[in-house]
Chains A and B, each alone.
Chain A
Amino acid sequence: MMEPRTTYSVYTWLRKKRWKKKFDLYQQTYNMVVDPVMVFYSGLFVIFCLFIGYDWLQQLITVLDGRGGIIAPYALLLPFLAVISAAITSFTDPGIRFTSSELQLSFLPHSRKRLVTYLFLEKYVLQILIIIVIPLPVAFVLMSWESAVLWVSLLFLSYPLSLWLQWKLFSLPSTHKLTVVLFSAILSSLFFLDYPVLLLYLGLSIVILMFLMRKGDVDWGRIIDINDARVWNMWLVGYFTEVNIKPPKRFGITQSIWKKKKGRHYSVQHLYGRIWTGYLQKSADVIWKTIPTVCLIILVIPMRVDWMLMLTLPIAIVVYHEVAGGLFSDVETVFHSMPIEEESCKTSYMILAYIGFSPVIISFFSIQLILGESFVAIGMQLIAIILFVYVDLAQVINERMMMVQKENFYREEWRRVASLILLGAGVYHPLFLLGVPLVVFKQGRSIRKELIS
């Protein structure tokens, strides 16, 4: 009988296979998309940039030489910052890349605890190398060698501590994470009030030990979901081949909070809302392009030429409504062949669409504040915008629903255009906004008429 291989040798073998597969995937993608001529010129460009960088670094070193003395005394703050950062990151990331493969390996005769330790050590060794290559030379250039040694040693010490803490906190409830953030933030502010550092370190050690020694269930399911998505969603490969080894999953703070919501909800509208939320999460790519774009249209251009807000505001609203309407058009795909309650379906979607519009409102409010508009005018403008969006978005959604159901409808486009012109003119003078309710309420009545007919 052959002796079974050790966990370490099987683990390293598996890691090699992972690298090989990823390398092959990248290679296939590069062969598919990279033009040799482009590679040649890019290479030349990189070499040129390296020369510029070298020259720039030489100038920078002479300027920065010894200037690091300003930050040298704050070295002792590093462990506090590391703990705060670990606690904040633990909302969305376990830190240690334990994937479904490691989990499956632990079903074979290999210890899960040992696999986690290998992953931890691997990440720590990598971090040590990074510290040696970047912060260490920079610290020696910027500050005295004593301060540099102190900085780098604290970095070496803080990193494993924060990584382990992040792993432990990840599976704990949000309240625990927030407690660590708050406590460490209080301790670090006491640092600035010249409290004895040893005392503060003692406090921090107690917090860390409390959580590190805590024995609780590890949320393996969520850990592997997040890590698989991070390890296997190779951006370039996915982008060009449109093939994902693992379905992309996004885990933000909000999603982790939603996930923990207790209780069952059976109202149709709530269920539809959940279906729409799932669909919007899948369409996150479009949403994350649209919302920032419309916000930027409102914020950036008027910052240069203030009157442009008269044009950019209506454009932003139209773009948002069209994208929201476009996403709603997939209603049949989203609900498959299920018979749906139209009103609940539209209402549940509109609630999400209204929520999605709030960054646009905030952007408008911010730019008007920056441009020095009076609060009365801003208030009137916001009311008019909200009123228009409330009615027009509902109409857009209604129209899309009718289009999907192949029903005939009459679109009163001139009313929409008139409202948008009035909104734009309202930026020039708020008195124009008085016309918006007239058109909008008229429009509201005509919607009811259309629905009855």
Chain B
Amino acid sequence: MEVVLDVNNCSVDIQKERILQDISFHVKRNEIMALVGHNGAGKSTLMKTMIGSREKNGGTLSIAGHDQDKHYKAYKRHFTYIPEEPLLFNELTVYHHFKLYQKSYGVPEDLFISRVQTYTEGFELKEKLDEYPEALSKGMRQKVQTICALLPDVPVLFIDEPFMGLDVYAGRFLEEELVRKKTEGASIVLTTHQLDKVSELADRYVMLVEGKVSSSGDVSEFHELERRST
């Protein structure tokens, strides 16, 4: 299978302290990769580095052959991101958020309409399309952010704690959508503390301990590792 996301020897320093050291892994097409580790292991820092909001101090990152340093614009066009804390625009209504993603990623109009229809029904947001972010609950905002990231067809989807703040129905709908995205050819990188979700969704895992990759491999190996540790 073709490698879509390639992380090669990435290191990150924050205030002269090494937070990530020589992180290397790759994610193939049609694959869900789970980044696991304790709090402070460096999962979110790695996620931020991959989406380009934190500078790396060494190594290379590429998506579909587009290097983050050399072709940053093309690199950014090839992924969407769902942060742990929803980042919504004060000036935009829920519907306008979807429009912004359509404009930024060039989603065709007919596809946009049908996806907005499907996702707003699935996430029970139909009645909230004209609301501004301040009128939404945290869970609703998380749903808006999730729909935004699901709208375009991009090779990679980065998701930080995707099920936090979502109710059971929305969580189940998201799971189905992630599996559907995967079968359609997308690669997904997610961080989660919910190990049952890792078992259900992920194909492979990367475990971080104190900023280093401690183990990685097939998710069945992760079960074995988990069983031995308990």
Contacts and interface: CB of A to CB of B under 8 A. Distances in A.
A7 to B, nearest CB: 9
Given A10-B100, A21-B132, A245-B134, A104 B87 contact: yes
A4 B109 contact: no
B87 A108 contact: no
B89 A108 contact: no
A109 B73 contact: yes
A14 B91 CA distance: 7
A311 B109 CA distance: 75
A3 B104 CA distance: 9
Given A107-B81, A245-B134, A17 B91 contact: yes
A90 B106 CA distance: 38
A101 B105 CA distance: 17
Given A1-B106, A2-B107, A109 B91 contact: no
Given A2-B108, A4-B103, A109 B89 contact: no
B79 to A, nearest CB: 9
Nearest to B107: A2
Interface string B86-123: 01111110001000111111111100000000000000
B158 to A, nearest CB: 11
A18 interface: yes
A9 interface: yes
Nearest to B72: A111
A13 interface: yes
B51 A107 contact: yes
Contacts of B109: 2
A22 B77 CA distance: 31
Interface size on A, as a range, is 20 to 34
B230 interface: no
A4 B91 contact: no
B76 interface: yes
Given A104-B87, A107-B53, A107-B87, A4 B106 contact: yes
A228 B104 CA distance: 23
B91 A1 contact: no
Which one of B51, B72, B90, B107 has the greatest number of beta carbons of chain A within 10 Å? B90
B25 to A, nearest CB: 22
Nearest to A108: B104
Contact of A10 (B88, B91, B104): B104
A100 B100 CA distance: 15
Nearest to A17: B91
A250 interface: no
B107 A101 contact: no
A26 interface: no
Contacts of B73: 109, 111
Contacts of B96: 17
Nearest to B110: A2
Contacts of A449: none
A246 interface: yes
A354 to B, nearest CB: 36
Which one of A9, A17, A111, A232 has the greatest number of beta carbons of chain B within 10 Å? A17
Interface string A13-34: 1100110111000000000000
A10 B77 CA distance: 14
A222 interface: no
Given A2-B106, A5-B106, A108-B100, A14 B92 contact: yes
Nearest to B80: A108
21 contacts: A2-B107, A3-B106, A4-B103, A4-B104, A10-B103, A10-B104, A13-B103, A14-B91, A17-B91, A17-B92, A20-B91, A100-B90, A101-B91, A105-B89, A107-B81, A108-B101, A109-B77, A109-B104, A110-B104, A232-B90, A245-B134
Interface of B: 51-53, 72-73, 76-77, 81, 87-92, 96, 100-109, 132, 134
| A-B interface, 4 closest residue pairs, ranked by CB to CB distance from nearest | A4-B106, A18-B91, A5-B103, A109-B76
